[in-house]
Amino acid sequence: MDIRQLRYFLTVSQEHSFSAAAKKLFVTQPTLSTSIKKLEDDLNHPLFFKEKNTLTLTPAGKMLNERGGKLLLEFDKLTEDIQHYGENQKTYIRLGMTTVFARKFMPLISQFLITHQNCDITLRQGGSPELQRALANNEIDLGIISFPKFEKNIDLEPINNLSYHICVVVPYKHPLSQETVIYTDQLKDQRFASFSKKYTLGKHLEYLAKSANFTPNIVYSGDNISVLLNSLEDMNAISLMAIEYKSFVKCSSNLHWIPLIDPNSQIQIGLAHTKHFFMTDSIRELINILHSNKL
């Protein structure tokens, strides 16, 4: 017995007539009769009694009608589900972003969600080293983070022409506040309010200091940008910041943002994911959009 034979049988059972069932099934009556006869032979039981001009079910026919009807409904539902598989399924993307570029990419992500309503993006902000660990630990799927790469088990590719520039934030009464640019050598013997090592800027201060042969005097370390900036006057300290922060972080107007002159004062931004990460079509499209910086 196959599905076609079962469908033919159920239609005959419903119509109580070979001719009426044949019309409904768009087959000839001989074709239908032959199919039912073969089904009866396969099951080794008659399925219909012919009484005058109508057909009634035999005991075997009643069993097949009851249980076969459920089978056909389930088969048709399975067929429909497979044909439409994936159309309404949600794709969940866990995206990590460094604070400095969260604002830049939010319009892109918002527009992506409007045009991809089957996607759900969960955002996590943090520093690049912290987000790289989250990627390696499978806590997020993608990361918009800064170089360098600290974790071996992730892939990090530059996003075209996207980077941030380091400047030195100085209170207006500080001796360095009169400078138009600051060189790395001028950072010696200064007091720093610094990001922790969860952030690239926290690690980068130590890297710059090592290259200039001094140990930074870090009087305060934290992860809150506003707290760091608003502590500078009271502590008579300076801080390394991305110049991009200046446009959206509320802080004292008595702070001067002075460009740092150093071969390593520009930090490249990239898109990261774990090695051998399985990408759905939606995730691949999101990656392409983020790489191109446009919709």
pLDDT for 241: 95
Task: Assess whether pLDDT exceeds 60 at residue 77.
Answer: yes
pLDDT for 80: 73
Q: What angle do CA 265, 267, 271 make, to 5 degrees?
A: 180
Task: Assess whether pLDDT exceeds 70 at residue 84.
Answer: no
Domains within the chain, CATH numbers bracketed? 3-84 (1.10.10.10), 91-161+268-292 (3.40.190.10), 163-267 (3.40.190.290)
Structure tokens at 248: 């959206």
Task: Assess whether pLDDT exceeds 60 at residue 295.
Answer: no
Give φ, ψ of 259 to 5 degrees.
-60, 140
Weakest mean pLDDT among 74-83, 238-247, 257-266, 267-276: 74-83
pLDDT for 83: 66
Which residue would you say has higher pLDDT here, 101 or 168? 168
Q: How far apart are CA 139 and CA 96, in angstroms?
A: 9
Q: Is there a contact between 96 and 125 (Cβ–Cβ < 8 Å)?
A: yes
- Over the Cα atoms of the chain, what is R_g? 35
pLDDT for 25: 85
pLDDT for 249: 78
Beta strands at 255-261 and 266-274: parallel, antiparallel or unpaired: unpaired
User: What's the pTM value of the predicted model, to 2 decimals?
Assistant: 0.65
Interval 141-166: pLDDT, tens: 999 999 999 998 899 999 888 899 99
Structure tokens at 76: 């048709």
pLDDT for 79: 80
Which residue would you say has higher pLDDT here, 85 or 143? 143
Which residue would you say has higher pLDDT here, 80 or 188? 188
Of 266, 286, 256, which Cα lies nearest the Cα of 100? 266
